[in-house]
Structure 1
Amino acid sequence: MSKRQSNQKRVATNCSRATGMGYIRCLDSAARGLISQHQPVPDAVTPEQRRFEARIAHTLADALRDRQLDGAVLGLQGVLLQGEQLTLRLHPVMARRVVADLLPTFDAGYGGLRGVPGLRPRRRGGDLFLVDVSSAAQVCLHGLDPSRGPTLTGAERGLTPVWRDAPDRLSRVERDELVYWESDGGIGRSTDARDLLFSRILRRPLLINRAGASHGWVNTYTHHEYDIVFEWCCGMSAEALAEVLRASGIESTVGAIDFRPALGREPHAERIDMADASIVLRCLNAPWCREEDSEGNARILQSNLRRYQ
């Protein structure tokens, strides 16, 4: 075996372990030069696709919180990367809720938009796609029972389904939300670096899912538009998971993107930083998940399952 072939096999293994794609498919990508040791998971090609994927990851982190099942963080059990097409493999129980949380809906009680601005569901050849009406960005979904379809937000009190009222265009509230997302806050923050980082998290589900390997419990949330927090009860340390993510090329730079932070801060072993955006990792070492408290783990699982019934 040549050194080149050995490197390709190593890259293919890393790609498969990060995405859940088959080894042979990843090996073909390595042979064609689509992935490398430096970047074993391919990036989204366009800024619009990266922004769309970033909004999906950020929105799901805030919506799902501690409701994730079986260690399927953000509702994902894997991804398929085929050319420029990203397909998300959804947890079958979580799938309908995931789609509902992504559909843009104006919430009068909240006083703003929930979901991903510009996102619309489209049926194509039996598959469900989530498309961005303001660009060519899209993702395909697998794991959703086509006979049942997604849980679509209806006309409930105080809720306006923007995705249904404006099926082919951006509404005013969505345009305002996108302007806010793309703002640098007046201090020169790199929105492109943030979108790349969050898009990369979405494309590495099997790595971030290691957080829930012990008991399947992961909590996700955000503080603002520039971070996503993942915290879990026990098992793999946050520092170890950060190293696994770094080894997957998640911090690799791209020539056209400014990675200089606008705000000074010290690096942290349990945080992945890209310019001013962060992936924050926290292992809680929670007392309620110890071996002797198996009943506590069962209660958490049953409580989460009830939320999807």
Structure 2
Amino acid sequence: MYGTEALPLFNHLPMALGALARLGAPRESLQRHIDHWAPLSRVADDDGVPPPSVEDALRRVLAAPEAQAFHVAIRLAYALQSGHRQELDAALRTTIGLESPLGAPVPAGQGRESLREVIDAVRADPALAMPAMPGTLITTRMQHAATLPGFDGYVERPRLTLDALAEASLAAYLSRHQFASLHLVTGTHALRVLLEAAASRGLAVDEGQVLRTVWRAWLGTYLSELRPAPAWALVHAGHATEDDWTRELPGLHASMNDHRIKVADAAREEWRHRGWPGYALCLRREGAAQ
């Protein structure tokens, strides 16, 4: 963690290092981030307790993927892919005592409408209007959104797939390049990694419940950003290649903006997986990625 006792925040250093390493950054780039974060950070105390197993950690995170504004899930995903034993042990420990800020996991349900249709309805519903809440945490805004009239009904309405949530996350971010929606892109990437990790270990997971729980957090985050019109067309328009990222690597290696680095890395991984050219637009230096 970093921040103050009154306002503890999830430490971004391990995730920034993971993203920089995957983006091929030189050692001096990683060292700059270590030097920057070291004075801000509180050293974790494991009390001599061994870390939980990967399987136990996956169960906890997939039951509360929105914990710490998706950061526990994001860190665990990086750690699982890094091959770095000490970082994996540290990431596993962050799942101990994990609790959702929004309550118990949501039952899978069926859902009868497409996610796009439900988002359109959300945008048109005056009862779901939220005030701007500058200076507050993403989690605090999600909790406020969850108290709005009709919120729970919208949680139940859509048919959900991971692809649909990923598409909506990218469309929401490309609309205004806002800070909270950036975490939807990095969060849904981490979710894919963790679900794949669970499947590879034969772990019994109720994926429908996981997706419904993520959608609840997604909806709260979206409402907190004042319901921008998703840029659906930008997700699929145009063309992207590895060169889009290669051209940006020097700037990413030099950047001290951990959010810009993480979204660029997650976007490349998702583009490699899904092929949607809009992921290359996450490289733009605007909004949260300035």
TM-score (ref. length: structure 1)? 0.24
More helix by share: 2
Q: Which is bigger in relative contact order (C-alpha 8 A, separation at least 6)?
A: 2
More strand by share: 1
TM-score (ref. length: structure 2)? 0.26
